[in-house]
Amino acid sequence: MPNSKLKQAFESKKFVVTAEAGPLKGTDITELELVAKLLKDKVDAVNVTDQQSSVMRLGSLAVSHLLVGWGIEPIYQVTCRDRNRIALQSDLLSAAVLGIQNVLSLTGDLPSSGDHPQAKPVYDLDSVSLLSVIQGLNEGKDMMGNPLVGKTDFFAGAVVNPGADTEAAYELQILKMEKKIAAGAKYFQTQAIYDPGLFEKFMKRAEQYKVPVLAGVIPLKSAGMAKFMNKNVAGVNVPQDMIDKISQAEDKTKTGLEMCSDLIKQLKPLCQGVHIMAIGWEKKVPQIIEAAGL
C-alpha cells in the first residue's frame, strides 16, 4: 500500500489544507459526490466526520471508502462513543482493507447532545487508548497482543483545543497532547480558532513536540452562530469585533467568507496547515482557499 499523501505533504513541509465532509442522514450520496468533486485537487485530504454531534448519519467508514474511489484522500474519523474495543479494531482493519490510510482518533460527544438522546454511550476506550490500539495494529498485533495476518499502515492523528478558557483547562490540553503523541499521534487538528494571538501562545508551547498542527477554522454565517458557539462550544471564543462585523454586514455570506480567508492568512505563519470546517458551506471551500492565497 502506498504511503499516505497527507503524511507525504507534512514531510515535504507543504502548507497542508484539509476540509470536512459530513455524511448526510440517509443513503442519497448525490450531494456528497458533488462536494467531493469540488474539493478534489483543492485540498490535501478530506476529513469524514463520525456521527458528528451524536447525530445518526451515514457512516464515516463507508464515506471514506467512497472518497478513495473518487480519487480523494480521506481522513477516517473514529469516535469511541458508539463501539467497544472489538468493533473499533475490526472497523480499523476494514478501513485498511478498503484502502484508507489516515485516521483521526476522537472520544466523541455524549449521545445526550444528539438526535437519539436515549442511546447508551460505550466509551470502552478513549481517544488516547484508541491511538495506542492503532499503533499496535500498525505493528501487527491486536489490543491483547494477538498477531494479525497482515498489519495496518495508518497515519494517525488526534485533536487538541488551543482555546481552553482557564489556565487549568489549557494545561490539561497540553498534557493530553503529550499523552496522545506518546500513544502514536503523528499530527493534530484543532478546535475552531478565531483569535490568532491565543493560537500563537499555544503554538509556542506546542512547537517543542515537533508534530504538525492543522489550525481549525469555521466560517461565520451570522452573529447568532458566533454567540451560540461562544456559549455552547468549549474552547471556542469569537472576539466581539468579529461578531460586530458580521452583525453589521449587508452581505453576511460574503463577509463571513472574507473573514475566514483573512483569518487563514494570519494563522498560516504559525502552523503547518489549516483544517476548514465549513458546516453546510462545503461548496464554498474552494472560494475560501483561493481568497486566502493557498
Using one digit for the tens of pLDDT, what is the confidence trace for 226-268?
A: 999 999 887 888 999 999 999 999 999 999 999 999 999 999 9
List the alpha helices (DSSP H) in the chain.
Answer: 5-11, 30-39, 60-69, 85-97, 127-138, 167-182, 196-206, 223-232, 240-248, 252-267, 285-291
Q: What is the pLDDT of residue 170?
A: 85
pLDDT, residue 148, reads: 98
pLDDT at 232: 86
Alpha carbon distance 246, 263 (integer Å):
14
Residue 250 is part of which domain span?
5-291
Look up the CATH number of the domain holding residue 18.
3.20.20.220
Per-residue model confidence as pLDDT tens digits over 112-171: 989 999 999 999 999 999 999 999 999 999 999 999 999 999 999 999 999 877 888 889
Q: How many domains does the chain have?
A: 1
Mean local confidence (pLDDT), 186-201: 95
Check pLDDT > 70 for residue 1. no
> What is the model's pLDDT at position 169?
83
The pLDDT value recorded for residue 166 is 80
How far apart CA 278 and CA 218 sit, in angstroms, is: 6
Q: How many CA atoms lie within 13 A of 23 on its CB side?
A: 25
> Which 8-state DSSP code applies to residue 209?
G
Instruction: Tell me the percentage of the chain whose pLDDT exceeds 70.
Output: 99
Largest CA distance in the chain: 61
pLDDT of residue 164: 75
Q: How far apart are CA 116 and CA 10, in angstroms?
A: 38
pLDDT at position 2 is 58
State pLDDT tens for residues 36-76: 999 999 999 999 999 999 999 999 999 999 999 999 999 99
pLDDT at 167: 84
The Cα 161–Cα 229 span in angstroms is 14
Question: What pLDDT is recorded for position 274?
Answer: 98
Q: Look over the chain and give the mean of its residue pLDDT values, rounded to a whole number.
A: 94
